[in-house]
Structure 1
Amino acid sequence: MIDWNDLSRIPLKAELYGRETYFREALSQAEGLWGERARSVLHRSALLMIKPDGLVSGKAQRIVEFLHAHDLRIVAVRKFAMHRLQWRELWRYQLTASTLDRLMVNDLVFANPCLMLCLCDVSGAALPATVRLSVLKGPSDVSQQTPDCLRSRMAQPNRVFSLFHVADEPADLLRELAIFLDTSDRAAVFEALARGALADAERRLLEDTVAESVRAPRELDARAALVRVRQAFDRRAAALDAGDRDRIDADLDAMAAGQRIAWPPFVRALAASDLDLDPWDVTILGAGFIVYDDPGASKQIVAAGQSPWLEPSRDIG
């Protein structure tokens, strides 16, 4: 059966996940369904979530092409809007560094649908598929990305608009499927991962979603969004409450100067002013002009990359 050396090479992750409900539930179900094949199926399984910003900016087709080019076969597809509790649980051990402003902007991002792709690695690589894909995608910090990683190829604009997410290790794959899916749907995905083939209905869902993504892609350009919001504000400024008008005006000026702003008072003033704004323009401003991390704060779990998986395994459970 599956042991911790098949799941993670991060001791803290083993400690935190070991009694966590999502992980335990998915591990038990996977072992029950996969039986003697559990280790091999888990080894070749991976997950990539195209986030709402990735779909709306037309990145879906290029992401799918990248996966195919690296022998990662799509075997299950789900499209859904991630509930606020789901994405908070997904990044529970990373959001410990985030500002509350960033949480508020993420709520705007995830009001829109995501596309979950479950993958079967047919390359025969020694690395687990999750680890291999995590290396291929590159770091979320734009300054640390290499030109050949997927994040760089997708021209990720900032840390909020990371465009997609991957499960970094096999343990994360199991945990995330329990966060996203109920028991019966998770069983269907586990069966697809073992079978290694995509159902016709899900193939059509993938094709339709990719076509919709590339049909009219939106530029996630903070400067262009700022111009549109400023124009909408100027048309209504004279009719607005003086306090709200001054707040919006000052924050728009600060953003035009490249400065970060405090997000809650700005969005409260926008809401009170009832301006005719595209929700994505507001989201783009948040992604571009907030402070992302609290000073001195750190993530509870940081991805370890492939290095620990290249070393001899050791008991961490």
Structure 2
Amino acid sequence: MTSAPVARDSRMPGEDLWPALTVSATKTELFAEDLYFRECWADALDVFGAPAAAGALAPLGLLSFKCDGMAARRADRTLRYLADQGFSILGSSRIRHNRHSMRELWRYNWHVYTTDRLALMTLMHSVSESLLLIVRDDRFDSEVPGSVRLADLKGSADPEARGPEHLRTVLDPPNKIINFVHVADEPADIVREVGIFLDRPERRALLAEVRQADVERATRQAFEEAARLEAEVPASDFDLDAALKRAEAVTEADVLARIRFAVSGGARLTWNELRTLLDPADTAIGIWDFVRIATEVLDADRPASADLLPPSSAAEWRAAGSQLTR
């Protein structure tokens, strides 16, 4: 008895298109079977047209605000930075993470986190709605995708590894865990991440908005939506000393002493221990003061390779382009 033939997915990128989406052979292999990429790529083909989809993605970038970015009131600063760096806003959409979507988005990064940090991430990334932006690189040079230039401009989470020109320097996050924004690394990541963030009707509407490219309207909507979102989220200064001072007013002296000991480099706390000492649901504490303190007292990382899918760079894309033209 012969088995039925397996249909080939004719809508997926072929060998001729993958080099326009990623320089990573590993990413090509993984995303070819990825549910989110496959679904959103089909939408991109429908919206942009089959021959044009990869080219339409080339100048684009994706930036999403994390909930802490809304609480820290970093939206206006980020939007103005994008404009200063030559990026125009083409579309935006409200988003909200749950424990599954955040793990899918950072599937190839969060393997380095301890389970205690995963618990913290689940809390801090699901506090509120946030904002997703699709931008166009108006300085696009046909060699380096807009997403790659934007990812380079974002800068490292490590303040020692970034310069004054980087977005994360401009946003001035308090540490490596609280860092306000996320960006997609390459065109392939834009496709996959839009597929994670949005259901089919919403993502097709966003892609159609991008295709129309009404920059003035999209920019106005992004500023207005960011302002509305920030108004819905309690503000936080993310100042550690201030957070400890506020906690001091509503906690027992021995509790605060144990927390301060961990902050100063003493024995670390586990997630369960910290939740026993401070309750993030207690309005007297405030969720963002809890988060700020937690980032200083938990063991955050475990021994593991830094990235399962390392981000690409402009230099890698230029090198790949030169190889193709030889």
Please state which band the TM-score falls in when normalised by the shorter chain: 0.7 to 0.9
State how 1:214-229 maps to structure 2 within 5 Å.
217-229=235-247
Gaps of 5+ in 1: 238-245
Note the 1:161-310 alignment, pairs <5 A: 161-197=178-214, 200=217, 203-204=220-221, 206-210=223-227, 213=230, 217-234=235-252, 248-249=255-256, 251-259=258-266, 260-271=268-279, 276-310=284-318
Q: Distance in 2 between matches of 1:218 and 1:137?
A: 22
Aligned residue pairs total 304
Q: CA deviation at 1:216?
A: 8.1
Deviates more, 1:199-208 or 1:262-271: 199-208
Question: Is residue 112 of structure 1 aligned with residue 119 of structure 2?
Answer: no
Any conservation in 2 of the 1:254–1:261 contact (CA below 8 Å)? no
Q: Is the 8 A contact 2:37 2:191 kept in 1?
A: yes
Deviation of 1:210 (Å): 3.2
Q: What is the CA–CA distance in structure 2 between the aligned matches of 1:154 and 1:279, rounded to whole Å?
A: 21
Counterparts of 2:274 and 2:147, CA distance in 1 = 39
1:14 paired with 2:28, answer: yes
Task: Verify the 8 A CA contact 1:59 1:213 in the aligned structure 2.
Answer: no
Range with greater deviation from structure 2 (293-302 or 271-280): 271-280
| Deviations 1:226-275, CA, capped at 9 Å, x for gaps | 221122103xx6xxxxxxxx6x4553132342444322221134349968
Q: Does 1:52 align with 2:60?
A: no
Which of the two has greater helix per residue? Answer: 1
SS of structure 1 residue aligned to 2:63 = strand
TM-score when scaled to structure 1?
0.87
Segment drifting more, 147-156 vs 199-208: 199-208
Q: Does residue 149 in structure 1 map to residue 166 in structure 2?
A: yes
Counting aligned pairs with the same residue, the percent is 29
Structure 2: 5+ residue stretches without partners: 1-12
Is contact 2:88-2:219 (8 Å) kept? no
CA distance in 1, matches of 2:285, 2:78: 30
- Greater Cα offset, 296-305 or 79-88: 296-305
> TM-score, normalised on structure 2?
0.84
Distance 1:131 1:297, change over 3 A: closer
Against the structure 1 CA distance between its residues 199 and 146, is the aligned structure 2 distance closer, same or farther, given a 3 Å change threshold?
Answer: closer
> In 2, are the aligned partners of 1:233 and 1:275 still within 8 Å (CA)?
no
Contact kept, 8 Å, 1:75 with 1:118, in 2: the verdict is yes
Whether the 8 Å contact between 1:42 and 1:170 is mirrored in structure 2 is yes
Deviations 1:69-114 (A, max 9, x none): 1221112111232111111110001011111121111122122222
RMSD: 2.7
